[in-house]
Amino acid sequence: MNIFYFSGTKLPSQNAQSIHSMKMAQAFSRAGHDITLFAKGMNNAASDDIFSIYNTEKIFKLYLSSHLNMPFISDAKRLLTFAGKIARLGKPDLVYGHDPLELALLATRNTPIVFEAHNIPSLSSHCWAFSKLLKQGNLRAIVVVSDILKQEFLKKYSEIEPEDIFVAHDGADLIRHIVSGDNDTNILKGRRDALNIGYTGSLAPGKGIALITRIASIRPEYDFHIIGGKQKQVQRLETANTLKNLYFYGYRDHAEMPSYLDAFDITVAPYQHRALIKTGHNMSRWISPMKIFEYMAAQKPIICSDLPTIHEILEHEHNALLLPASSEHKWGEAIDMIKENPDEGARLARNAYNNLKEKYTWDKRAQAITELCFYKQQAPRFSKAS
């Protein structure tokens, strides 16, 4: 299929959706499809650099539109730019994407559309665009990243039927795709002989950085490493940090992450019950965290907060340890247990990797969505909305 894929994000950026879009474009291409990925960015950005940053093969076309920091002007300019480009490229077999505004632009072109959602539309412009998509005859399916998010859509939109929504959790590349070198703990700050506990990802509220700090304070014999975050966030945390076993690294390109993951002994995902997105909405109810799958790929023991949506991916004492999101003492005890029982840690890591390999690679995700798209291309649209 010739697929136009609208990412709805800026490239390059620190946004997890930018990783998701690049990896899915690669996976769709590996499955034999002709992919054009549309994203925000500067037209003069070197595409080779972008492919390198995300450690992806240059096997799909990438088109960037100028990105401004003025939302309404930026959106209008981007949509007009994309409209001109689309007119020159011709009609695709399928339009796939994350941004309802971009998809609504194509809703009248008689091309099948599949919308992938990582949250419920909340911005007024996105709500308008999604409503337009529901009313048009081209929307074939909605892809969501968790079953809990699917239930939220069904609850809010009566015109959507359960069979209209397909659950596809996030994913990761297998180790053979991402490992860039041998295990090298020299990449980490701190003591050479300490157990290394690692976190990668955002430093936003709800991600559990305060919990990591509390764990580090009661386990001074271990070193804790936090990879990610914006410069001002990192500076603020470093200024406030009084612990000698807690280290901040700031943002690293996605292609660098395997080296850090490889150097960790244990990985942690201390999500809190409230994780706010820019609109102020709590997304912890329906997240499908990409870092979990990257931890699974790294074959390191995972300790994660016990949230309902996490149960769709991880099982306590099978492929991870799931703990209360606020108890630093239980987290400290779990780290002790893995250190004292390395075979148990290895078993958890091995099971997690096998689960990833069986169900959660980007390639398997793309294959499942492609099968859905082939079926939905000719299928009638939402029965309640027609």
Across 233-239, average pLDDT: 96
CA nearest 263: which of 209, 340, 192? Answer: 192
Contacts of 220 (CB under 8 A, 6+ apart): 243, 244, 245
pLDDT band at 180 (very low <50, low <70, confident <90, very high): very low
Structural domain contains residue 383: no
Give helix 328-340 / helix 342-355 axis angle, nearest 10°.
Answer: 100
pLDDT score for 276: 47
3-state SS string over 230-287? Answer: CHHHHHHHHHHCCCCCEEEEECCCHHHHHHHHHHCCEEEECCCCCCECCCCCECCCCC
Contacts of 187 (CB under 8 A, 6+ apart): 259, 260, 263
Structural domain contains residue 298: yes
pLDDT band at 21 (very low <50, low <70, confident <90, very high): very high
pLDDT score for 77: 64
* 342 cis-preceded (ω within 30 degrees of 0): no
Digit-coded pLDDT (tens) for 293-305:
999 999 999 999 9
CA distance 180 to 176: 9
Q: Does 226 lie in the same domain as 140?
A: no
CA distance 52 to 56: 6
Q: Does 53 lie in the same domain as 180?
A: no
pLDDT score for 84: 67
Q: Does 366 lie in the same domain as 355?
A: no
Across 6-14, average pLDDT: 91
Structural domain contains residue 382: no
pLDDT band at 285 (very low <50, low <70, confident <90, very high): low
- Determine the 3-state secondary structure of 2 from DSSP: strand
pTM here is 0.90
Q: Does 328 lie in the same domain as 307?
A: yes
Q: Does 206 lie in the same domain as 218?
A: yes
Higher pLDDT, 379 or 203: 203
Q: Does 296 lie in the same domain as 156?
A: no
Which domain covers residue 58, as residue numbers?
Answer: 2-171+362-377
Question: CB count, 10 Å around CB of 57?
Answer: 11
φ, ψ (nearest 5 deg) of residue 349: -65, -40
Structural domain contains residue 386: no
pLDDT score for 73: 47
Number of domains composing the chain: 2
pLDDT score for 47: 75
CA distance 365 to 372: 11
**Pairing mode, if any, of strands 165-167 and 61-65?**
unpaired
φ, ψ (nearest 5 deg) of residue 360: -125, 20
**DSSP labels, 107-176:** TTS---EEEEESS---SHHHHHHHHHHHHSS-EEEEEES-HHHHHHHHHH-TT--GGGEEE----B--HH
CA nearest 303: which of 283, 284, 319? Answer: 319
CA nearest 254: which of 21, 4, 6? Answer: 21
CA nearest 361: which of 176, 233, 237? Answer: 176
Average pLDDT for the chain? 88
Across 271-293, average pLDDT: 69
User: Which amino acid is it at 303?
Assistant: I
Q: Does 351 lie in the same domain as 211?
A: yes
Q: Does 208 lie in the same domain as 59?
A: no
Residue 102 near residue 111, CB atoms below 8 Å: no
CA distance 28 to 370: 8
Measured CA angle at 92 (ends 364, 168), to 5 deg: 25
pLDDT score for 379: 61
Residue 17 near residue 116, CB atoms below 8 Å: no
CA nearest 61: which of 131, 135, 5? Answer: 5
Digit-coded pLDDT (tens) for 125-168:
899 999 999 988 889 999 999 999 999 999 999 999 999 999 99
Q: Does 109 lie in the same domain as 22?
A: yes
pLDDT score for 136: 82
Structural domain contains residue 384: no
Lowest mean pLDDT among 21-30, 142-151, 181-190, 193-202: 181-190
The 10 Å CB-count burial string (b at 16+, else e) for 209-241 is: bebbbbbbeebeebbbbbbbbeeebbeebeeee
Edge-to-edge strand ranges of the sheet holding 61-65: 61-65, 34-40, 2-10, 94-97, 113-117, 139-144, 165-167
Q: Does 337 lie in the same domain as 371?
A: no
Digit-coded pLDDT (tens) for 81-120:
666 677 788 889 999 999 898 898 877 678 899 999 999 9
CATH number of the domain within which 106 lies: 3.40.50.2000
Across 182-210, average pLDDT: 89
Structural domain contains residue 225: yes
pLDDT band at 40 (very low <50, low <70, confident <90, very high): confident
pLDDT score for 106: 79
Across 360-371, average pLDDT: 96
Residue 80 pLDDT more than 90? no
Structural domain contains residue 40: yes
Q: Does 136 lie in the same domain as 89?
A: yes
Q: Does 52 lie in the same domain as 151?
A: yes
Higher pLDDT, 304 or 288: 304
